[in-house]
Amino acid sequence: MNRRLSITVALALFSFACALSFSGCGGNRTDAGQIRKGVLKANLPEPGKIEAVQGAGVPSVSELISGYNARNFGSPGWRRVSLDLITNGQLTRAFTVVNLWKDDKQEVRTLFLLQEPTGLRGTNYLLAERRAAAEIPDMKVFLFLPSGERQVLEIEPSKFNEGLLGSDFTYTDLRMQLPTGGYNYKLAGQCVLNNEPVWVLEAEPVSETVRQSSNWSLARFYLAQKFQFLIGADYYTDSEESEGGRKLSKKMRVVNFEQINNVWTATEINMHSDENHYSILKMKDARFGLPKIDARLFQSNELSVLADSIRAGWTPEKLSATNP
Partner 1 sequence: MLRLLRFSTNHPRIVVTVVAAVTILACLFIPRVRLQLDGRSLIPVDDPRLAASDKAAEFFGLRDVVVIAVVNKQTGIYTPETLERVARLSEGLERIDGVIASSVTSLATIPRLFISSDKINTRPLLNHGAGFDARTCEQVRFETESLGINDGVIVAEDGTGAAIFADVTPESDRETILKQARNLVDKEADGGDSVYLSGTALAQAALGQSAARDLMKLIPAVIFVVGLILMMAFRHFVPACVSLAEIGISLLWTVGLIGLTGHSVFVTTLVMPVILMAVGVSDDVYALSHFFEEARRDEGQPIVKVVQTAFTGVSRSVMITTISTVIGLLSLAITNLEPLRVFGIFGAVAILFSSLFTFSFVPALLVLLDPKLSKKQVSRKARETRGMLAIFNALSLAGPRRVLALVILSAGIASLMMTQLKIDDSWVKNLPGASDVYRGDKEINNSFAGTITLDLMIDSAEAEGYLDPEKIKTLGSIEDAISELPTVGSVRSVYSDILRVNASLRGLNYSDYRNAVLKGERELTRGEVEQAMLLMASVRRTPITEQIDRQYQIARVTVFIRSANYERIHDVLETAARSALKISTAANAVTPFGDGWISYLTVRLLVEGQVWSIALALLTDLALLSLLLGSIRTGAIAILPVVFSLLVVFAVLAATGTPLGIANSMFAGIAIGIGLDFSIHLTSVYRQGIKKGLAHGDSLKRALIGTGPAIITSAVAITAGFSVLVLSEVAPNMQLGLMICLSLLVCAAATLILVPSLVMARRTAR
Task: Give the footprint of partner 1 on this chain (CB under 8 A).
Answer: 1, 4-5, 7-9, 11-12, 15-16, 19-20, 22-26, 28-35, 37, 85, 87, 92-93, 117, 119-120, 123, 143, 145-149, 151-156, 158-159, 161-166, 215
DSSP, collapsed to helix, strand or coil, labels residue 84 as strand
> CB-wise, 241 or 243, nearer to partner 1?
241
Euclidean distance between CA atoms 265 and 72, whole angstroms: 10
- Gap between the Cα atoms of 194 and 252, Å rounded: 12
**C-beta closer to partner 1: residue 64 or 98:** 98
Cβ distance to partner 1 smaller for residue 163 or 189: 163
CB of 36 vs partner 1, minimal distance in Å:
9
Q: How far is the CB of 207 from partner 1 (least distance, A)?
A: 13
Could you tell me the smallest distance in angstroms from the CB atom of residue 27 to partner 1? 9
Between the alpha carbon of residue 276 and those of residues 41, 69, 90, the distances in Å are 9, 33, 10
Whole-angstrom Cα distance, residue 113 to residue 309? 11
Smallest gap from residue 235 Cβ to partner 1 (A): 14
Residue closer to partner 1, measured from CB, 11 or 58: 11
Q: What CA–CA distance (Å, rounded) separates 316 from 323? A: 9
Amino acid at position 207, single letter: S
- The nearer residue to partner 1, 169 or 264, going by C-beta atoms, is 169
Nearer to partner 1, 66 or 96 (CB): 96
Burial pattern 100-110, b for ≥16 Cβ within 10 A else e, equals bbbbeeebbbb
Shortest Å, Cβ 114 to partner 1:
9
Distance of closest approach, residue 160 Cβ to partner 1, in angstroms: 11
